[in-house]
Amino acid sequence: MMSAADAQTPPAGPPAVGIIETVKRPVTQTNEFLGRIVATNRVNVVARVTAFLEKRNFVEGAEVKAGDLLYQLERGPFLADLESKKAQVAQLQATLANAVLTTNRAKTLLGGPAGQQSTYDAAVANQQSLEAQVQAAQAQVDLSQINLDYTQIHSPIDGRIGRTAVTEGNVVTPSSGTLTTIVSQDPMYVTFPVPVRESLDLRERYATRGGFKAVVIRVRLPDGRLYDKVGTLNFVDNTIAQNTDTITLRGTIPNPSLYNSAETGGPVRELTDNEFVTVLLEGVEPVEVLAIPRSAVLSDQQGEYVYVVGAENKAEQRRITLGQSTSTIAAVTKGLSLGDKVIVEGLQKVKPGQVVAPGPASALIQSSMKASADGTSRPGAAGGNP
């Protein structure tokens, strides 16, 4: 028998839920990869001649300019060799001058009784031989000058120089190996491997929308900060790595000086050669996608799903496929249609087939959708793949 208290308790009505209709929203598409910073130029400085190292003219770890003198090798033996070769040229030139006079004299005598053709021919041959000797001796002078110039080792590029492998007083030779290394600083390359399947998706997405110009590169530093400079994509490798089934992409990104420090030998920059970073490949123009609040998406072992309000206000479970999404907006590529009423609030009370009492979603949900749409073009507004 029903008690008086039970009789006074009204039957529970349908649970109230907040809904929002699916709409088209602009979302900045972003793909996230692991990559490295690589210097655009790298030079291993080596010795070109054998000589004593007299002086090192740079501070290890500092930035140098193209043409700066890095190492001074012993010049004395090379200067002496150059002067000796010049003296040989001068001696041959004097002999050649006399041979020219002899040839001219023999040519003059050809018209008289004392002239002989054989004498003239011998004089011409001797002159030509001496001319060749002078030319060979001048080449030796040029070679000696080159070797003398090699005793001063200059920087071929602008960049940051490493530590020296050889100190003053040691003999260096062409086989001594690398004396030091210079890497350029601004701009830098950022390289990152992309799985082949994902590279095909990127090609399909951007090839007809501007190619390299359709994307920009952003970098997340090892400490989690988003680098404030934007890079450009400029290279796709022509070979797929067999061991990883990836293809390497490369972009260029600025690396200006943050500040100058005398203690560190010059400018301090954010990016360093061979630094490990996270690369965000971001579309320049947002794209229109079918969007719902991310909070409406549930998941189980079968994947993602949402609840929508169907006929007679019954809750229906819909399996969906997500595309590029942000932290607040879920982009749906399959499973929903424009205008579907998706339950975003009160989900804990909903079961498939249950009658619900739908109402507009709270202002907080509405504002988050609008804010995300307005912020798609700002750095960091788009997240990675869901």
**163 and 197, same domain (yes or no):** no
The answer to whether residues 219 and 227 touch, using CB atoms and an 8 Å cutoff, is: yes
Do 64 and 107 fall into the same domain? Answer: no
pLDDT of residue 286: 75
Regarding whether 310 and 268 lie in a shared domain, the answer is no
pLDDT at 379: 37
Question: Residues with Cβ < 8 Å from 341, sequence gap 6 or more?
Answer: 19, 20, 21, 308, 309, 358
Please give the pLDDT value at position 111.
66
Cβ proximity of 28 and 382 under 8 Å: yes
Residue 379 lies in a domain: no
178, 62: one domain: yes
Give the CATH number of the domain where residue 103 resides: 1.10.287
Does 20 share its domain with 91? Answer: no
Is residue 9 domain-resident?
Answer: no
53 and 132 share one domain: no
Residues 265 and 320 occupy one common structural domain: no
Give yes or no: residues 328 and 308 share one domain. Answer: yes
Residue 11 is predicted with a pLDDT of 58
Does 386 fall in a domain? no
219, part of any domain: yes
User: Which regions in the chain score pLDDT beneath 50?
Assistant: 1, 376-386
- Residues of the domain holding 216: 30-41+185-283
Give the model's pLDDT for residue 65: 93
Residue 154: what pLDDT?
Answer: 95
Claim to verify: residue 167 and residue 227 sit in the same structural domain: no
**Are 199 and 278 in a shared domain?**
yes
* 55 lies in the same domain as 159: yes
283, 309, 324 — which closes off a domain?
Answer: 283
CATH number, domain with residue 61: 2.40.50.100
Encode pLDDT of 101-133 as tens digits: 888 877 777 766 655 777 778 888 988 888 899
Tell me, yes or no, whether 170 and 68 share the same domain. Answer: yes
